[in-house]
Structure 1
Amino acid sequence: MLNRKFKIAILCGGPSLERGISLNSARSVCDHLYSDQIDVIPIYFDHRKRPYQISRAQLYSNTPSDFDFKLSETAKPLGENAFHKLLKSADIAFPVMHGLFGEDGEIQTKLEKASVPYIGSDKNACKNCFDKYRANELIKQHGFFALPSTVLKIHEPSKHKQILRDFFSKHNLERAIVKPATGGSSIGVHSVSTVEDAITAARTIFKKRMDTRIVVEPFCKGIEFTVIILENRFGMPVALFPTEIETDYSQNQIFDFRKKYLATRQVIYHCPPRFTDKIIKKIQIQAEQLFKVLGMRDFARFDGWLLPNGNLWFSDFNPISGMEQNSFLFLQSAQIGFSHSDLLHYIARNACKRYNLNFPDIPPKTKSKKQRINIIFGGKTSEKQVSLMTGTNTWLKLRKSSKYEPHPYLLDIDDKTVWRLPYSKTLNHTVEEISEMCKKAKGAEKRLKPLREDILKKLSISEPKGLANKETFAKRTTFYPGHMNEELFIPEKMTIEKFIKNSKYIFIGLHGGIGENGTLQKILEKAKKPFNGSGSYASKLCIDKYKTGLRLQNLEKQGIYVPKKYLGKTDELLKMNKAGLNKFWKKIKYEIESASIIVKPPDDGCSTGIVRMKNPKELAIYLEFIKNRLPAIPKFTLGKEQGNIVEMPTNKPEYLMFEQFIYTDRVRVVKNKLKWQKISGWIEITATVLGKGKNLKAFNPSLTVARNSVLTLEEKFQGGTGVNITPPPQSHVEK
């Protein structure tokens, strides 16, 4: 059939606790595979494994909860015949479900029974990898080093204490890990120091029905790493540059869900790792061997540890690696010249070859006269990691534009230095990581070049570009998806003044500081450089929540209400003793007419430093964190209401704003049903307005659902966590 698109069915969702991450992976795959030649068919499985055909737009819900209840009310799951017919309409399926149903071999079994070609490892390989205890025993049998482990079963509670006592005693343990045998993303993983703690952790896992089997193993004292393995066109596995994971393991901390999916300085990724070349080679060789031992196909991610004695322990095997925009899969592949699209085309093309399918020959991209846009993000504010997310997403989206040619630039944490970034340096997960990589890039390249060439040779790709033959790359006019299309160059350092001078159009992706307070806008206005967003006057006003509140006063007739606020000078508050704070607390309670008060810096965003308080004692604790410039307030420090870590400002704020706490209706999604408890009639929303002057358009608002008193950083930006219902349900909110 002429002009027929090649169709890929994207399978996402599922019953596991990682289903939110699956959505993130699905939309990333969709973003980078969908084209004029390739169509994608998203199929979503709910928590009962019932399939629904959903639109590509629905993939952009933040978590399954955002639309699960809508599906249950407005759509019917596909019956078995309809499901098989839909699968058969696609040329190949791509499961991107993590955990149960997606990585345990079940969906692979369904696809094989229906004779549907699919990308990824087969059912037997998935079964080999999925159960952590069985996988550990399997690699031992094949002569690979592994730590000892034992299993607790849900139906044998009377044996748990003795099993744990024997295990702790036999291995002389001072610390152990207790985790679901088939879990992922560190969900349900506990670090314990005693048998009693291990019993408590096991009971918690079983009580929450996370699993029916629990693995207990010694805490590994070493350096954590993760490595991506790709299968080349000859069916041979090729390990990429591993990523070293640097984090604090003291006080029973682990590399947990928050550290994995929320960009903070609690974890640092080093890719390539700070290991010797010999250790890197050793990791790659063993990973490639294990890929074959486990019978895997197409791609995978292995997690492991480098022990002090030089041993390697591969502790976790993931048949379906996470595929978020800056995931390890894309971060590691970018180091050798793959873009997101290049990599996914490479994986899909090799999988199609296995089934004798003709993957489409994508017409090469040609250099054309597009409008260059320089995207700047980063900076030194507490919102810099969110700025990195904004900048990266904008850059990746605009890369598919037929009109614009986006280029990423990092504003360093001094707010003065700017780096022009290559693809390979843009995907690190924090501003600080990218800054360090840029500063060390020139010296690191001599070491990395031969290691990169070795990987490319194994992948059977013979056209590395950029640093090796920069002149040739610059002269190229065609770029082929599935090949090495990204120029590898040393990041270019410049002043912010030079960046502005050399830019024809600037997209501001900065949050807070000079990017939102009117400073950069005023400079660009003076230089007559076009930029996105509001001008300097509106920016300067809107960044200050106190001044914005004053500007919006007395508009009740127009339906605009502003909570009462009070501004306190931080230095004066820090000087107050207990009696002084008590007096101040009484004063602000009277001034803003509220017993429960929200405290926040007036010019920071992204939930930075925002806390609900009920007494002066909590204010005193909060001020200690401000005084000592501590990066975060641990959860429950300020009482039970503070159920999450509160990220604090990077610099001491000049003022603190005290504001009425607004009681909202309690909204929850429970078992695919929307639960709405009427309290005040107020709800929290977020809305986007697009346009200029009088030509403005407001998009559908999102109803934001906070678990506790304050919408947290996690709920706003952590993958698979927050609930944003868009648009709000008309059953409760008028259109």
Structure 2
Amino acid sequence: MNAFAISPAQLYSNTPSDFDFKLESLAQEFSTLSEFAEHLAANVDIVFPVIHGKFGEDGGIQELLEKANVPFVGTPSNECLRAFDKHNASLELDAQGFLTVPNFLVEKDKLAKSQLEEWFGSINLNKENGKVIVKPTRAGSSIGVVVAYGANEAAEKAEGIFSEGIDDKVIIEVFLEGGCEFTAIVLDVGTANNSEPIVLLPTEVELQSSISSDIQEDTIFNYRRKYLPTQQVAYHTPPRFPAEVIDCIRKGVSLLFRHFGLRDFARIDGWFLPSPATSLPSSENGVKFGNTEYGAVLFTDINLISGMEQTSFLFQQASKVGFSHSRILRTIVQRACSRFPSLVSSNNAWTALSRKMQSAKQAEIIQNVTCKQKAFVIFGGDTSERQVSLMSGTNVWLNLQGFDDLDVTPCLLAPSSGCSSHNQDLSKSSRDVWTLPYSLVLRHTTEEVHAACFEAIEPERVEITSRLRDQWIDYVKEAKAVVFIAVHGGIGEDGTIQSLLESAGVPYTGPGPIASRTCMDKVATSLAVDHLASYGIHTIPKDVRATEELLKSSLVDIWNDLKAKLQTETVCVKPACDGCSTGVARLRCPEDLEVYANALRGKLPRLPANCLSRAHGVIEMPVPPPESLIFEPFIETDEIIISNKSRNDSTRHLVWKGENEWLEVTVGVVGKRGEMHSLNPSITVKESGDILSLEEKFQGGTGINLTPPPATIMSEDALEKCKKCIEMMANTLGLEGFSRIDAFVNVRSGEVLLIEVNTVPGMTPSTVLIHQALTEEPPIYPHKFFRTLLDLAFARAD
């Protein structure tokens, strides 16, 4: 709970732990929160709080700002406190005549099993196995939300929440079987203190059970499903509910916004139960709001600060009515300004200036429409990396929109397994390219985007979908555009797209066809740099096996053969032509190999955490399985631990024994062919096993990146030698534009051991590439970085 003023470059750190190693030298610390509030009062016009959960939505930060007379966006402190507590809000809803979910409050050290069992009986729920939801009363993002069966397990789960320190109050709710979850964004478009809530079209959250028999998961909208792309969740805006139900939701959200005294914006979640609501105890006392001809509408959670990731509900729903990301945020801030007399004149001036600039901009566009350079950002595809590709492409597209001289169009390279709900023949759709309007991009998976494409067009237009090999490339060529390739793996990195564009004379970002083909094949990559050993560049021995052979052979014999050939006791397995940590696992015994082989045989989407002999996180698997696998000796490195804060020390420390001199790094390279420049290497701390998980690589708020490696771990001389080795590899492989090289580095000598090269690296907001660009002198911000990559493509075309 200390406040720091940080540089804009540090905003792209992944986790709070990331900041711990930068704050001392790069940030201004305030001795108290009061001093921080005084600083804000003297230096800012208005504050936009985006702290989720405690202190952000419970009135904490709002009270601090109110005491210092600092204007801020959002709901006042007392109203936040009143709405944030789920139990108190439920009581308020019931008192105001709304249908509510039956619930039972449990307070820390006050759990009475007999009373809990009585509650189960009072709502006709079996106390032995009745299904309930257990969740903290004051937390967000589905943190601590679990399913329980029966009173005993519910009590155990409640105690677990207490012991983890998430909250000291827990509510146990009836599990709404057969219900459909929804969420609705509400905007206050009134002026000054006159509230006028407008509810956008709600979103239905459709959850599907895991298709894997080995993974038993309840279908709840948990943290992983919220913030990582998954085909277990689909979003429908507007919901697939009757019009009367949607009207009821919007009316109810508006009433709640007014009743709780909310301001500017909020998100309210709930459930639609298609069955009659007479079974709910809260409907016994007369007519309740939420009863409709088609079923019951119940409101369960009030979120004072909606999520603001690029594809969050706020932006999804706003895009349906024509709002871009920047426009909806500007609208919210301007609404907040109208409540503060000191900002009214500024706000009016801002609005007038905005209109003037917009008019001038429109006139300039009309005058110079032919001068705009067209750019197409292509993402998606077939591989296991297609979801990260969507995240990367979305990030690139949004960042490039700020340039007035660019006309940027997002494009989806369709997945081959797409819209099964449609009758179209999609057997060859992996070569289809769709140009997308704004609102269709904001989805969590390529399959969702693809399905939305079919829903958005007339049936007779389906046949004219552009083909990659002819119409789309001809279209790009005619527009004299450059293509920003953000398709990870598959035809995005094996040289296919590059060859097609090159033969058509269309400029594009990244390396050419030959370099792409070489780097896609990990064995070919090793062979290409094998002669550089005298310069300190080394490769890892490899054994390549066909997946089909693996599944048909004796796994014990294969294991013994691998140990003998690779001279190792521990093996690293990975797809021969894939990346993104997909299918990468550490195997220590024949039983581990059997678990891995069974996952391939069963086409499982993931290996659950800790299913191998050594503890590990969830391992995403390639589906369908790859044609071949690479086995390598597992390179042992000393674990880097982020120490916990002690009572006498408020800071965290790096703990690294240094017994093994090798560490894993990832390095971005940028520039012209033969003149590639190495960015600062990053050490990414693995927090849940030996292999970086998908979360640690791409999910915002996870993964700790140390960029550059701290001097306590790696000397300046070793760092410079490492960067020179990386540049030599990049130039030897013929890389250009930008790529990412993963390697082990000797922290004493700076020599490197090549792991792999990614010619289309991740470009999501939380990826290492963004961090590294920001550590350059001067910092390169994402929009400038992506523009630089386009300019390199332009230059190459010239």
Aligned partner of 1:206 in structure 2 is: 162
Amino acid at match of 1:532: T
For residues 378 and 51 of structure 1, the distance between their equivalents in structure 2, rounded to whole angstroms, comes to 40
- Once the two structures are superposed, residues 498-526 of structure 1 have per-residue CA deviations (whole angstroms, 9 ceiling, x without a partner) of 11111121111100011100111111111
2:387 maps to 1:421: no
Indicate if the aligned counterparts of 1:243 and 1:269 stay in contact, CA closer than 8 A: yes
What does 1:511-530 align with in structure 2 at a 5 Å threshold?
Answer: 511-530=488-507
- Once the two structures are superposed, residues 85-131 of structure 1 have per-residue CA deviations (whole angstroms, 9 ceiling, x without a partner) of 33331111111100111100011111111111111011122112211
SS at match of 1:152: strand
- Once the two structures are superposed, residues 163-211 of structure 1 have per-residue CA deviations (whole angstroms, 9 ceiling, x without a partner) of 3222223223311111111111111111011222222212221111111
Amino acid at match of 1:667: I
Q: Quick one: which of 325, 329, 339 aligns to 2:310?
A: 325
- Once the two structures are superposed, residues 524-548 of structure 1 have per-residue CA deviations (whole angstroms, 9 ceiling, x without a partner) of 1111110000000010010112221
Indicate if the aligned counterparts of 1:151 and 1:214 stay in contact, CA closer than 8 A: yes
Aligned partner of 1:64 in structure 2 is: 16
Indicate if the aligned counterparts of 1:441 and 1:491 stay in contact, CA closer than 8 A: no
Q: Quick one: which of 660, 667, 674 aligns to 2:640?
A: 667
- Once the two structures are superposed, residues 548-575 of structure 1 have per-residue CA deviations (whole angstroms, 9 ceiling, x without a partner) of 1233335333222322211111111111
What does 1:231-246 align with in structure 2 at a 5 Å threshold?
Answer: 231-234=188-191, 235-246=195-206
For residues 60 and 428 of structure 1, the distance between their equivalents in structure 2, rounded to whole angstroms, comes to 22
Indicate if the aligned counterparts of 2:117 and 2:151 stay in contact, CA closer than 8 A: yes
Deviation of 1:667 after TM superposition, in Å, equals 1.2
Aligned partner of 1:493 in structure 2 is: 465
Stretch of structure 1 that moved more, 591-600 or 67-76: 67-76
Deviation of 1:73 after TM superposition, in Å, equals 6.8
Stretch of structure 1 that moved more, 565-574 or 667-676: 667-676
SS at match of 1:622: helix
SS at match of 2:234: strand
Aligned partner of 2:90 in structure 1 is: 136
Residues 1:162 and 1:551: Cα distance change in structure 2 (over 3 Å): farther
For residues 63 and 94 of structure 1, the distance between their equivalents in structure 2, rounded to whole angstroms, comes to 20
Stretch of structure 1 that moved more, 401-410 or 651-660: 401-410
Aligned partner of 1:459 in structure 2 is: none
Amino acid at match of 2:491: I
Q: Quick one: which of 217, 226, 230 aligns to 1:260?
A: 226
Q: Quick one: which of 136, 151, 160 aligns to 1:180?
A: 136
Deviation of 1:57 after TM superposition, in Å, equals 0.8
Amino acid at match of 2:58: D
For residues 251 and 409 of structure 1, the distance between their equivalents in structure 2, rounded to whole angstroms, comes to 34
SS at match of 2:29: coil
For residues 160 and 386 of structure 1, the distance between their equivalents in structure 2, rounded to whole angstroms, comes to 47
SS at match of 2:581: coil
Aligned partner of 2:38 in structure 1 is: 84
SS at match of 1:507: strand
Aligned partner of 2:448 in structure 1 is: 433
2:274 maps to 1:301: no
2:561 maps to 1:601: no
What does 1:8-87 align with in structure 2 at a 5 Å threshold?
Answer: 49-72=1-24, 75=27, 77-79=29-31, 80-81=34-35, 83-87=37-41
Deviation of 1:404 after TM superposition, in Å, equals 2.4
2:506 maps to 1:552: no
Residues 1:146 and 1:82: Cα distance change in structure 2 (over 3 Å): closer
2:114 maps to 1:162: yes
Amino acid at match of 2:466: M
Indicate if the aligned counterparts of 1:438 and 1:491 stay in contact, CA closer than 8 A: no
2:690 maps to 1:709: yes
Aligned partner of 1:373 in structure 2 is: 375
For residues 340 and 203 of structure 1, the distance between their equivalents in structure 2, rounded to whole angstroms, comes to 41
Aligned partner of 2:180 in structure 1 is: 223
Amino acid at match of 2:490: G
For residues 426 and 247 of structure 1, the distance between their equivalents in structure 2, rounded to whole angstroms, comes to 21
Residues 1:128 and 1:492: Cα distance change in structure 2 (over 3 Å): farther
Aligned partner of 2:597 in structure 1 is: 623
2:155 maps to 1:153: no
Deviation of 1:262 after TM superposition, in Å, equals 0.5
Which 4+ runs in 1 deviate beyond 4 A? 72-76, 489-492
Indicate if the aligned counterparts of 2:228 and 2:699 stay in contact, CA closer than 8 A: yes
Deviation of 1:305 after TM superposition, in Å, equals 0.7
Indicate if the aligned counterparts of 1:244 and 1:269 stay in contact, CA closer than 8 A: yes
Aligned partner of 2:255 in structure 1 is: 289
2:334 maps to 1:349: yes
Aligned partner of 2:622 in structure 1 is: 649
For residues 611 and 565 of structure 1, the distance between their equivalents in structure 2, rounded to whole angstroms, comes to 15
For residues 688 and 510 of structure 1, the distance between their equivalents in structure 2, rounded to whole angstroms, comes to 17
For residues 292 and 273 of structure 1, the distance between their equivalents in structure 2, rounded to whole angstroms, comes to 23
For residues 607 and 163 of structure 1, the distance between their equivalents in structure 2, rounded to whole angstroms, comes to 48
SS at match of 1:77: strand
SS at match of 2:47: strand
SS at match of 1:252: coil
Q: Quick one: which of 485, 509, 521 aligns to 2:486?
A: 509
SS at match of 2:20: helix
Indicate if the aligned counterparts of 2:237 and 2:317 stay in contact, CA closer than 8 A: yes
Deviation of 1:83 after TM superposition, in Å, equals 4.0
- Once the two structures are superposed, residues 343-379 of structure 1 have per-residue CA deviations (whole angstroms, 9 ceiling, x without a partner) of 0111111111111322213221332422110111111
Deviation of 1:293 after TM superposition, in Å, equals 1.1
Amino acid at match of 1:95: P
Stretch of structure 1 that moved more, 78-87 or 591-600: 78-87
Residues 1:647 and 1:296: Cα distance change in structure 2 (over 3 Å): same
SS at match of 1:326: coil
Q: How many residues align?
A: 637
Indicate if the aligned counterparts of 2:610 and 2:616 stay in contact, CA closer than 8 A: yes
Q: Quick one: which of 501, 510, 515 aligns to 1:533?
A: 510
Deviation of 1:443 after TM superposition, in Å, equals 5.6
For residues 624 and 117 of structure 1, the distance between their equivalents in structure 2, rounded to whole angstroms, comes to 59
Amino acid at match of 2:473: I
For residues 77 and 434 of structure 1, the distance between their equivalents in structure 2, rounded to whole angstroms, comes to 44
Deviation of 1:718 after TM superposition, in Å, equals 1.4
Deviation of 1:490 after TM superposition, in Å, equals 11
Indicate if the aligned counterparts of 2:5 and 2:28 stay in contact, CA closer than 8 A: no
Deviation of 1:160 after TM superposition, in Å, equals 3.6
- Once the two structures are superposed, residues 638-684 of structure 1 have per-residue CA deviations (whole angstroms, 9 ceiling, x without a partner) of 2452322x222122311111111111121122334132222412222
Residues 1:559 and 1:403: Cα distance change in structure 2 (over 3 Å): farther
Stretch of structure 1 that moved more, 356-365 or 186-195: 356-365
For residues 75 and 440 of structure 1, the distance between their equivalents in structure 2, rounded to whole angstroms, comes to 49
Deviation of 1:595 after TM superposition, in Å, equals 1.2
For residues 543 and 462 of structure 2, the distance between their equivalents in structure 1, rounded to whole angstroms, comes to 49
Aligned partner of 2:720 in structure 1 is: none
SS at match of 1:662: coil
Indicate if the aligned counterparts of 1:248 and 1:254 stay in contact, CA closer than 8 A: no
Aligned partner of 1:14 in structure 2 is: none
TM-score normalized by the length of structure 1: 0.84
Indicate if the aligned counterparts of 2:41 and 2:69 stay in contact, CA closer than 8 A: no
For residues 68 and 271 of structure 1, the distance between their equivalents in structure 2, rounded to whole angstroms, comes to 40
For residues 700 and 163 of structure 1, the distance between their equivalents in structure 2, rounded to whole angstroms, comes to 59
Indicate if the aligned counterparts of 1:665 and 1:676 stay in contact, CA closer than 8 A: no
Deviation of 1:590 after TM superposition, in Å, equals 1.4
Q: Quick one: which of 74, 97, 103 aligns to 2:51?
A: 97
Indicate if the aligned counterparts of 1:421 and 1:491 stay in contact, CA closer than 8 A: no
Amino acid at match of 2:186: I
Q: Quick one: which of 322, 329, 338 aligns to 1:337?
A: 322
Amino acid at match of 2:520: I
